[in-house]
Amino acid sequence: MKLIAVMNQKGGVGKTTTSLNLGHALSLMGQRVTLLDLDPQAHLTASFGLECGQYSGMDELIMGDMPLSDVRIKMRENLYLIPAGKRLGELETMTEGGAARGGLLRDALKSSFSDDEIVLIDCPPSAGLLGMNVLFATKSLLIPVSSDYLGLHALGRFMGIIQHIEKTLKHKFHHWLLVTRFHARRRLAREVREKLYTYFPGYVLSTEVRETVALAESPGFGKTIFEYRNKSHGAEDYHAVAHELYQKMSAPV
Query: pLDDT digits over 182-217, tens only?
Result: 999 999 999 999 999 999 999 999 999 999 999 999
Burial 39-69, CB ≥16 within 10 A → b, else e: bbbbbbbbbbebebeebbbbbbbbbeebeee
Mean pLDDT score, 115-136: 91
At 226 the pLDDT is: 98
At 97 the pLDDT is: 61
For the cut 90, the answer to whether the pLDDT of residue 16 exceeds it is: yes
Element (H, E) at 177: strand 174-180
| Domains of the chain listed by start with CATH number | 2-250 (3.40.50.300)
For the cut 80, the answer to whether the pLDDT of residue 71 exceeds it is: yes
Mean pLDDT score, 132-143: 93
pLDDT range class, residue 253, cuts 50, 70, 90: low
Contact (CB, 8 A) for 91 and 42 = no
pLDDT range class, residue 6, cuts 50, 70, 90: very high
- Quick one: DSSP state of residue 206? S
pLDDT range class, residue 21, cuts 50, 70, 90: very high
Residue of 85 and 65 predicted with greater confidence: 85
d(CA 85, CA 83): 6
For the cut 90, the answer to whether the pLDDT of residue 144 exceeds it is: yes
At 98 the pLDDT is: 64
